[in-house]
Amino acid sequence: MVKFVNVGVSFTGGYQALNNVNIEIKSGEFVYIIGKSGAGKSTFLRLIYADLLPTRGVISVEGRDLNLMKRIEVPFLRRQIGVIFQDYKLLENLSVFDNVKLGLDIFYMKRTQAKERIWPLLKRVGMFEKRDDIVKNLSGGEKQRVAVARALINDPKIILADEPTGNLDMENAENIMTVLRECIATGATVIMATHDKLLREKYPSREIELEKGKVIKDGAAYEL
C-alpha cells in the first residue's frame, strides 16, 4: 500500500511541486496519475521510491514510513519497486539483454539461468529479436520497451511507470498496457503517469489528477 498524508514538496527557491497531497493506493490497484506538464507527476513518483523526501507530511510504502527509513534500508525498499523512468535511464553502451539483466537483483546468476527469465519478458515487450543490440542504436520506442522489461524483471510489488507509452505507436502502447495489467493479476500495484487520453479511455481505471501540485480529482473516470 502507498499512503500520502498532507504531503508537500518544495524545491530550492521555494517552488511548491506538490501541495497537501492525501492519497491512498491499495495493493493490486491500477492508478493513472494525470495532469499537465509540470503538474508534479514525476515528483509524486520519485517520492514513492525514496528518490526524494517530502518537505512536509508522511509517506508510507508497504508499511514503512519513508521519513523514518534509514539510508541503508532504501535498497530493500527499491527491490520491491520497479521503475520505468520517463527518460529510460538505460546504459547506452550495453546490450538490451545486459540492461535487463541489471534489473535482476541476483547478480551472480548464471547467464543461462538469467536467459530463462529475461527471454520471455523480452518477447512480451517485443524486443526479443533485438536482444543483442546495443541500446544506443535503438529507437526511442525500443528503448522504452527495454526500460519496461528492466523494471519488471524482478516481479516488483509496486510498478511506477512514468509515461511508459510516451514514445510508442498505438499497437506497442496497447501491448505495454497489457503487460502492465497482467502484473495487476499477480497482485502488483501499478502507478502510471500518462498524458495518453486514448489509452485511459480504452483501459479505464482510477485517475488521480494533479494541477500545480494539488490533487484536483481522484476517482474512477469511467465505470468499469
Ligand X SMILES: Nc1ncnc2c1ncn2[C@@H]1O[C@H](COP(=O)(O)OP(=O)(O)OP(=O)(O)O)[C@@H](O)[C@H]1O
Residues at the contact surface with ligand X, assessed by CB under 6 A: 11, 15, 17, 35, 37-43, 86
Which residues, in sequence order, are CB contacts of 158 under 8 Å at separation 6+? Answer: 2, 48, 61, 62, 80, 81, 82, 188, 189, 190, 191
Provide the residue type at 96 as one letter: V
Q: How far is the CB of 59 from Mg ion (least distance, A)?
A: 18
Which one, 14 or 219, has the nearer CB to ligand X? 14
Q: How far is the CB of 195 from Mg ion (least distance, A)?
A: 9
Q: How far is the CB of 41 from ligand X (least distance, A)?
A: 3
Which one, 41 or 101, has the nearer CB to ligand X? 41
Q: How far is the CB of 219 from ligand X (least distance, A)?
A: 19
Which among 191, 190, 204, 174 has a CA at the least distance from the CA of 33?
A: 191
Q: How far is the CB of 19 from ligand X (least distance, A)?
A: 11
The CA distances from residue 93 to 102, 132, 133, 135, in Å, are 13, 11, 10, 6
Strands (DSSP E) contained in 99-170 are 158-162
Which one, 9 or 188, has the nearer CB to ligand X? 9
CB 189: neighbour CB atoms within 10 A? 24
Whether 154 contacts 104, CB under 8 Å: yes
The reply on whether position 165 binds Mg ion by CB under 5 A is no
Which one, 11 or 76, has the nearer CB to ligand X? 11
Decide: helix, strand or coil at residue 130. coil
Whether 41 contacts 210, CB under 8 Å: yes
Which one, 13 or 63, has the nearer CB to ligand X? 13
What phi and psi, each to the nearest 5 degrees, are found at residue 120? -60, -35
Which 37-96 positions form the footprint of Mg ion (CB under 5 A)? 41-42
Positions that interact with Mg ion (CB under 5 A):
41-42
